[in-house]
């Protein structure tokens, strides 16, 4: 009889040990579940916060892009009208393609009529327009950089294909750009109108295979 009680007590002790072990594992799992649920709430809050920041940054980027587009359009339009006169204007169309913004450029004019025509720069009144647009774009983009880029503007044969008729206006445009924005312009040119507009000018000549430089203004 006592041996049966002893065996029963041992079985009970084993059951208690299994119960306490499983109970401990259950409590550990419950604590782990609670910690994970708390972490999940924190992660969701972080994701929501990051999403708001992402949307805010997207809006800020879009706004900055729009501001830059308007600045470029304004400056290039001013250059075209300054050099060629008339109703020429410059337009930038930005579209998202393959998850990145891409820009197309257009020149608009009535060409003396009532119908508004927009063409690619290379198709608008010949190469002179392309040269002025290229020049104005470089100047506009330089001014649009944030943080600002300091130092002089260095140009090699600006407006090379602009006709003689419009060369004085290009020279005056560069002069106005330099004076209004306080930025020095250094350029190499064969164009006499551009050379005459400079505050300081040097003449480079070739004689007997040797180059000589002398200041002419």
In a domain, 78, yes or no: no
Number of domains in the chain: 1
Output the domain CATH number for residue 155: 3.40.50.300
Could you read off the pLDDT of 37-52 as tens digits, one per residue?
877 776 676 667 667 7
In a domain, 74, yes or no: no
Radius of gyration of the chain (CA): 37
Percent of the chain's residues with pLDDT above 90: 22
- CA 203 to centroid of chain Cα atoms: 38
Which residues contact residue 7 at a Cβ distance below 8 angstroms, ignoring those fewer than 6 apart?
none
Cα 159 from Cα 191, distance rounded (Å): 9
Model's pTM, two decimal places?
0.67
In a domain, 184, yes or no: yes
- CA 195 to centroid of chain Cα atoms: 33
In a domain, 190, yes or no: yes
In a domain, 109, yes or no: no
Q: In which domain, by residue range, is 216 found?
A: 150-217
In a domain, 173, yes or no: yes
**Between residues 33 and 52, the one the model is more confident about:** 33
Cα 124 from Cα 130, distance rounded (Å): 8
206: pLDDT strictly greater than 60:
yes
Q: CA distances (Å), 55 to each of 45, 63, 68, 115, 160, in order?
A: 15, 12, 20, 41, 45
What pLDDT band is residue 93 in, cutting at 50, 70 and 90?
A: confident
In a domain, 58, yes or no: no
In a domain, 131, yes or no: no
**Between residues 18 and 107, the one the model is more confident about:** 107
122: pLDDT strictly greater than 80:
no
Cα 201 from Cα 188, distance rounded (Å): 10
């Amino acid at each position: 009889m006592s041996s049966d009680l002893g065996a029963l007590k041992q079985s009970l002790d084993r059951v208690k040990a299994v119960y306490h072990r499983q109970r401990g594992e259950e409590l550990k799992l419950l604590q782990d579940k609670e910690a994970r649920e708390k972490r999940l709430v924190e992660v969701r809050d972080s994701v929501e916060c990051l999403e708001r920041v992402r949307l805010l940054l997207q809006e800020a980027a879009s706004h900055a892009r729009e501001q830059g587009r308007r600045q470029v359009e304004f400056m290039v339009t001013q250059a075209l009208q300054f050099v060629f006169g008339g109703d020429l204007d410059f337009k930038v169309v930005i579209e998202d393609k393959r998850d990145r913004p891409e820009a197309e450029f257009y020149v608009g004019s009535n060409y003396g009529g009532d119908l508004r025509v927009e063409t690619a720069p290379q198709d608008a009144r010949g190469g002179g327009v392309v040269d002025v647009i290229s020049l104005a774009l470089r100047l506009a983009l330089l001014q649009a950089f944030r943080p600002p880029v300091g130092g002089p503007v260095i140009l090699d044969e600006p407006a090379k294909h602009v006709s003689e008729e419009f060369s004085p206006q290009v020279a005056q445009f560069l002069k106005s750009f330099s004076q209004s924005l306080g930025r020095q312009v250094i350029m190499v040119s064969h164009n006499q109108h551009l050379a005459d507009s400079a505050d300081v000018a040097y003449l480079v000549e070739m004689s007997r295979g040797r180059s000589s430089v002398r200041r002419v203004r």
